[in-house]
Structure 1
Amino acid sequence: MLRERGQAVGGDSVVAADGDHGNHFGKRVFEPDNKHERSALWKGGIMKCLVAVLVCVTLVEGMIPLNKHKSMREALREEGIELPYQDPALKYQPHEFSSSANMYINNYADVRNPSCLNAILHTADGFAFDFIMFLSFFTSNQCNTQTTYYGAISIGTPPQSFQVLFDTGSANLWVDSIYCSTRACNTHTKFNPRQSSTYSAIGKTFYLPYGAGSLHGTFGYDTVNVGGIVINHQEIGLSTNEPGQNFVVAKFDGILGLSYPSISAGGETPVMDNMISQNLLSANIFSFYLSRGEQQGSVLSFGEVDTSLYRGQISWTPVTSETYWQIGVQGFEINGRETGWCSQGCQSIVDTGTSTLTAPKEVIGHILQAIGAQQSQNGMYMVDCSQVNNLPTLSFVISGVAFPLPPSAYITQHYQNGNQFCSVDITPTYLPYHNGQPLWIFGDVFLREYYSIYDRTNNRLGFASAA
């Protein structure tokens, strides 16, 4: 069982919110299977109450409030630089899994649509024994779903502090370093390995191509501290060259990935895997709560489930590929009517690093037609703001459960020069099918509606309606 806040961890059962066993997803109710399981859940909570008390102390120490900032793309736009449209799925290309120490990070500036592009959220693999990290959530003036979620970590002895981006779509930790002298590096905090008594060099380099340039670096090992939790002998990437404009305006100093080790550049061990091997978590899970609109309060939790952040029950679905957090989708509905697009199965990558809902190129036109969207001169797909409440609900069927996205989830209202306009936060991907199945990306549009739990022990994902 995954531990709710104040409860113990153990077993493999579904967690329900504070006595609420209703079906909030409309298809299926998840409850303990039998009396023995219910008894085990109750006894587990009682027997480990002392552990829960200790965890609460750790949580207080690990809470990190973060500030709002503009996205990379919005900041570049204010300087007169518009990054080109890029397929959000480019970072999932097969060459990412080659034996070389390369990792494709094409969309770290992220995209919403060709002219309203978005900064990316990337996830953290490096937290220990049940703590919650508060994430920054910001809204840009012109594209108010442009979100970046990042928080503080420290590296080395004595500790050097950095702001990092948290990404379920990558697996490595890297930060700016003194070995880099480009403008992008010079505008950020840089790690100095010479000032750390626990640093050791590996002698291996890496290369990470992205949209408007590339990132070169070298690997080393050091102590990583996140929220007062220490991971020993952690692989870190130190940038040596960051050409281009992308990272110049970024408010973060590096990226911390939460995907599986199979996609780690250089074959290095991700932070989450070191946390598991060093027994730093009471349960090998992490979870995301992404606040809606301009609200603060986005949270990344490790080792626990916070029942105050969701309603109803958690429904689980297995990971279909232990590379990214990839799951199967059995159906796609528009206003409750099955489209048949996933009748032979679809796949979806759950990626905190993509802000939009990304649909296969074969169906994106049908979705936009059903919504009644029209393409504007600047390439954005727009709808009549007065008709937003009348737009269809889009639903995904996952392991027998329907997960609806109301119009408020996929439509963004903008204000510019006193005028209101509404755009569609659904973008196409041109990535080839996965084993013959169309690929979707569940980015922030989906994740703001559903509290998400990532279970490494059982290789499964859980979703519940966000509070």
Structure 2
Amino acid sequence: MKWLILTVLCLHLCEGLLRIPLKKGKSIREAMKESGVLHDYLVKHRYYDPAYKFFNNFATAYEPLANNMEMSYYGEISIGTPPQNFLVLFDTGSSNLWVPSTLCQSQACDNHNKFNPNLSSTFSTQNEFFSLQYGTGSLTGIFGFDTVTIQGISITNQEFGLSETEPGTNFLYSPFDGILGLAFPAISAGGATTVMQKMLQENLLDSPIFSFYLSGFMVGTQSSGWCSQGCQGIVDTGTSLLTVPNQVFSELMQYIGAEADGNGQYVASCSNIENMPTLTFVISGTSFPLPPSAYMLQSNSGYCTVGIESTYLPSQNGQPLWILGDVFLRVYYSIYDMGNKQVGFATAV
């Protein structure tokens, strides 16, 4: 049986497993800070709600790059014949594959790898337009078809997006070139065939199962009662932080001992991390503790940023919504079984 495995570390290949080594790079936040534009960006986008991406119409996908501010792990793929290489973010919260192209005139495209359709003998297009809505504008382009190769596995005639415009400054500072969505086809912009769909159609995967390893609810030992009437959770590799309902956010910051810094972030002294509470998620009766070393993002300033943000939006059934992003997924190995619509977790070792 062949599965799709994405892992931070290059492990020995096992029969039937496709492993994609993820590379660690500088995060968007780090790049913006070094360039002196982080403060203005955070002030401008401080009220962005990270849950908007999950409540869109199916014609236009909404994928906020603001969620990727802390992202620093990416994998390499190639597109075309001969192959052109790209670093992409593997995202369980979106469904489309897109990369910058030579059709793009935006500044953000100039410092990233760009796909040149004229250099690929296997490229074709029907010039179908697409638009992906981001927190700072619309990424637009056309759909094309070409061979996509992932760790030596070639997917022929795969549909993907060639960007023509990339909005805002955050794309300019992103260490990845494009995004490879792994979510269900229902949220694919333009109804484009997803990479997972195409791999199954070509019998490159036996089962629609993939996993990531990026290295009830309780605070400390006390039950918070925040999910006493039930909560809904989304597991998303495309969200860098842990997202909690707005109605519990302030109380959670008090438990942690964090204060607002004026830029829309919450900070606390790094020297106090060992005294902060462990946050425990209870999922289907199993406890998943998240230590403060996981949810506090350390820096060289002596103050640590809390890797937690809030959302005002409820889930579709009205229950409080939590998004388990990379802050959680760095601690737990996650397995996504699309065929049975299940997500599994195991402690990362």
TM over 0.5: yes
On the 8 A contact 1:216/1:241 being kept in 2, the answer is yes
On the 8 A contact 2:217/2:227 being kept in 1, the answer is yes
Matched AA of 1:214: S
Cα deviation code 1:162-213 (max 9, x no counterpart): 1111111100001111211222222222212222222221231011122223
C-alpha root-mean-square deviation of aligned residues, in Å?
2.4
User: Are 1:168 and 2:125 matched, yes or no?
Assistant: no
Q: 1:429 aligns with which of 311, 320, 328?
A: 311
Q: 2:35 aligns with which of 72, 79, 84?
A: 79
Instruction: Quote the residue 2:201 is aligned against.
Output: 277
User: Are 1:89 and 2:51 matched, yes or no?
Assistant: yes
Q: 1:336 to 1:216 in 2, by over 3 A?
A: same
Matched AA of 1:450: Y
Q: 1:158 aligns with which of 63, 69, 82?
A: 82
Instruction: Quote the residue 1:266 is aligned against.
Output: 190
Task: Tell me the CA shift for residue 379 of structure 1.
Answer: 4.2
Name the CA distance, whole Å, in 2 between partners of 1:234 and 1:274: 7
Please list, as runs of the form range in 1=range in 2, the aligned pairs for 1:64-463 lying within 5 A after superposition: 65=21, 67-82=23-38, 83=41, 84-85=45-46, 86-95=48-57, 97=58, 100=59, 102-106=60-64, 108-110=65-67, 119=69, 146-291=70-215, 331-416=216-301, 420-463=302-345
Q: 1:181 to 1:58 in 2, by over 3 A?
A: farther
Cα deviation code 1:341-397 (max 9, x no counterpart): 212211111111112111000111121122222223444323344432222221111
Q: 1:387 to 1:250 in 2, by over 3 A?
A: closer
Matched AA of 1:463: F
Q: 1:163 to 1:447 in 2, by over 3 A?
A: same
On the 8 A contact 1:166/1:257 being kept in 2, the answer is yes
**Length-normalised TM-score, structure 1:** 0.67
Task: Tell me the CA shift for residue 237 of structure 1.
Answer: 0.5
* Unmatched runs of 5 consecutive residues or more in structure 1: 6-52, 111-117, 120-145, 292-330
On the 8 A contact 2:273/2:293 being kept in 1, the answer is yes
Name the CA distance, whole Å, in 2 between partners of 1:344 and 1:80: 44
Name the CA distance, whole Å, in 1 between partners of 2:169 and 2:99: 17
Identity %: 57
**Length-normalised TM-score, structure 2:** 0.89
On the 8 A contact 2:23/2:74 being kept in 1, the answer is no
Task: Tell me the CA shift for residue 463 of structure 1.
Answer: 0.3
Matched AA of 1:289: Y
On the 8 A contact 2:256/2:277 being kept in 1, the answer is yes
On the 8 A contact 2:61/2:132 being kept in 1, the answer is yes
On the 8 A contact 2:2/2:204 being kept in 1, the answer is no
Q: 424-433 vs 372-381, which deviates more? A: 372-381
Per the alignment, in what secondary structure is the counterpart of residue 414 of structure 1? coil
On the 8 A contact 1:72/1:109 being kept in 2, the answer is no
On the 8 A contact 2:100/2:114 being kept in 1, the answer is yes
Task: Tell me the CA shift for residue 275 of structure 1.
Answer: 1.0
On the 8 A contact 1:73/1:109 being kept in 2, the answer is no
Name the CA distance, whole Å, in 2 between partners of 1:87 and 1:446: 19
Cα deviation code 1:115-137 (max 9, x no counterpart): xxx52xxxxxxxxxxxxxxxxxx
Per the alignment, in what secondary structure is the counterpart of residue 108 of structure 2? helix
Matched AA of 1:401: T
Name the CA distance, whole Å, in 2 between partners of 1:238 and 1:379: 33
On the 8 A contact 1:166/1:258 being kept in 2, the answer is yes
Cα deviation code 1:203-260 (max 9, x no counterpart): 3101112222321100111111111001122111111122432222322221100100
On the 8 A contact 1:148/1:165 being kept in 2, the answer is no
Name the CA distance, whole Å, in 2 between partners of 1:185 and 1:379: 28
Q: 1:379 to 1:251 in 2, by over 3 A?
A: closer
Name the CA distance, whole Å, in 1 between partners of 2:178 and 2:236: 18
Matched AA of 1:403: F
Name the CA distance, whole Å, in 2 between partners of 1:70 and 1:243: 20
Matched AA of 1:87: D
Task: Tell me the CA shift for residue 409 of structure 1.
Answer: 1.6
Q: 1:423 to 1:178 in 2, by over 3 A?
A: closer
Per the alignment, in what secondary structure is the counterpart of residue 251 of structure 2? helix
Which has the larger Rg?
1
Instruction: Quote the residue 1:17 is aligned against.
Output: none
Matched AA of 2:222: R
Task: Tell me the CA shift for residue 151 of structure 1.
Answer: 1.7
Q: 1:338 to 1:267 in 2, by over 3 A?
A: same
Instruction: Quote the residue 1:56 is aligned against.
Output: 14
Matched AA of 2:36: G
Name the CA distance, whole Å, in 2 between partners of 1:64 and 1:263: 24
On the 8 A contact 1:412/1:424 being kept in 2, the answer is yes
Q: 1:109 to 1:376 in 2, by over 3 A?
A: closer
Name the CA distance, whole Å, in 2 between partners of 1:272 and 1:63: 15
Name the CA distance, whole Å, in 2 between partners of 1:2 and 1:347: 31
Task: Tell me the CA shift for residue 161 of structure 1.
Answer: 1.5
Q: 451-460 vs 274-283, which deviates more? A: 274-283
Q: 366-375 vs 377-386, which deviates more? A: 377-386
Name the CA distance, whole Å, in 1 between partners of 2:323 and 2:294: 15
